[in-house]
């Protein structure tokens, strides 16, 4: 994939200007979660436990929720290592948040009795099952939607009205770069993450005037147990397309998510590649700040050339793999 030097220079200038605008214009004062109750779903591993640990270091009372009780106990032990004071409350609940809403509401209400009102809900529970669209079973598609969408929906439905009445609160939805544009092999998974993105945008618009801030986290490939499972079901084409960006550490993504959430930023991303894809795929996302939006208006035209080249590159990978598969079939037939 070749670009002219003019396009490359334009991309470099766009990134530089964006960084300068962020440093000198967009810095916001972060909220404090010291002594507040934070709930982290998917908190037994990956980005979830990293976020929980970050919250503990900031003095929050933290409840983590997942299904595997053994992993939850081990996660709480890790949280105990960074406890800031003796009266800090650290606990877990084993729960299928994508199941019955009434049960989810009951358990969350129970945690509020023991720890206090939920000030921040960090929705991190998620999973990935990859495959060519028609090869992913109906059962797996329902599983993806239950974990990725309905888990966040159920928890958010319980806390949102209470946060609005209190006129304060933070909600994080952990989506994916796959919510920016569809990629080969990610069909049902991407659909579940697009749904999260839409829910986050809607709730942000409905809740801003009630003092509730919403952050949409859009992590790229992150080195987590979930990613290891994802790799097992990825088609060869998907591995090649997504393999060039490297792996992010969950601790780095967690730091970025919490920082953006506490500053009230809607979008949370890490890295130049994620910024480019998010800007191109999320033209109507509510980016914060006039100068950031002005920058986007100036550079999004030239970046369309980048998007065109990216799609051409992806399609060339798919054609190459298909040609190799056909050649392999011919050899086997002989």
Run of H or E including 120: strand 118-123
> Helices 151-166 and 187-207 meet at what angle, rounded to 10?
10
Q: How far apart are CA 66 and CA 73, in angstroms?
A: 11
The partner residues of 94 in beta bridges, in order of sequence, read: 66
Provide DSSP, 212-266: EEEEEE---SB-SHHHHHHHHH--HHHHHHHGGG--B-HHHHHHHHHHHHHHT-S
Task: Check if 71 is active-site.
Answer: no
Could you tell me which of 77, 87, 76 has the C-alpha nearest to residue 34?
87
Phi, psi of 323 (to 5 degrees): -65, -40
Q: Which of 58, 71, 193, 234 is catalytic?
A: 193
Q: 293-317 burial string, b = 16+ CB within 10 Å, else e?
A: eebbeebeeebeebbeebeeebeeb
Q: Which of 44, 45, 152, 175 is catalytic?
A: 175
Task: Check if 193 is active-site.
Answer: yes
Alpha helices in 99-220 (DSSP H): 101-115, 138-144, 151-166, 187-207
Q: What residues contact 226, with CB distance under 8 A and at least 6 apart?
A: 45, 46, 126, 127, 128
Cα angle: 232, vertex 233, 238; to 5 degrees: 105
Phi, psi of 276 (to 5 degrees): -60, -50
CA atoms lying within 13 Å on the CB side of residue 116:
15
Task: Check if 175 is active-site.
Answer: yes
The partner residues of 118 in beta bridges, in order of sequence, read: 37
Q: Which of 92, 119, 184, 189 is catalytic?
A: 189
Task: Please give the positions annotated as active site.
Answer: 175, 189, 193
């Amino acid at each position: 994939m070749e670009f002219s030097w003019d396009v490359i220079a334009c991309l470099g200038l766009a990134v530089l200007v964006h960084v300068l605008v962020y440093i000198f214009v967009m810095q916001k004062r972060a909220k404090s979660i010291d002594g507040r109750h934070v709930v982290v779903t998917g908190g037994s591993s990956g980005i979830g436990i990293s976020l929980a640990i970050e919250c503990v270091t900031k003095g929050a009372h933290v409840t983590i929720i997942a299904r595997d009780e053994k992993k939850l106990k081990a996660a709480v032990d890790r949280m105990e290592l960074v406890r800031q004071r003796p009266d800090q409350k650290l606990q877990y609940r084993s729960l299928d948040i994508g199941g019955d809403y009434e049960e989810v509401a009951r358990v969350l209400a129970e945690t509020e009795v023991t720890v206090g009102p939920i000030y921040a809900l960090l929705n991190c529970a998620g999973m990935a099952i990859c495959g060519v669209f028609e090869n992913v079973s109906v059962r797996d598609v329902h599983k993806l939607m239950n974990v990725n969408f309905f888990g966040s929906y159920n928890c958010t439905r319980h806390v949102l009205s209470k946060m609005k009445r209190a006129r304060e609160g933070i909600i994080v939805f952990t989506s994916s770069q796959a919510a920016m544009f569809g990629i080969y092999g990610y069909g049902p998974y991407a659909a579940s993450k697009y749904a999260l993105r839409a829910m986050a945008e809607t709730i942000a618009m409905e809740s801003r005037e009630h003092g509730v801030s919403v952050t949409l986290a859009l992590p790229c490939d992150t080195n987590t147990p979930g990613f290891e499972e994802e790799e097992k079901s990825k088609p060869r084409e998907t591995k090649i397309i997504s393999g060039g960006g490297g792996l992010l550490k969950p601790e780095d993504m967690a730091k970025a998510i919490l920082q953006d959430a506490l500053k009230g930023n809607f979008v949370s991303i890490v890295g130049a590649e994620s910024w480019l894809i998010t800007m191109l795929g999320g033209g109507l996302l509510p980016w914060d700040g006039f100068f950031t939006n002005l920058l986007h208006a100036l550079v999004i035209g030239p970046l369309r050339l980048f998007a065109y080249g990216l799609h051409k590159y992806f399609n060339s990978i798919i054609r190459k793999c298909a040609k190799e598969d056909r050649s392999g079939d011919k050899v086997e037939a002989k």
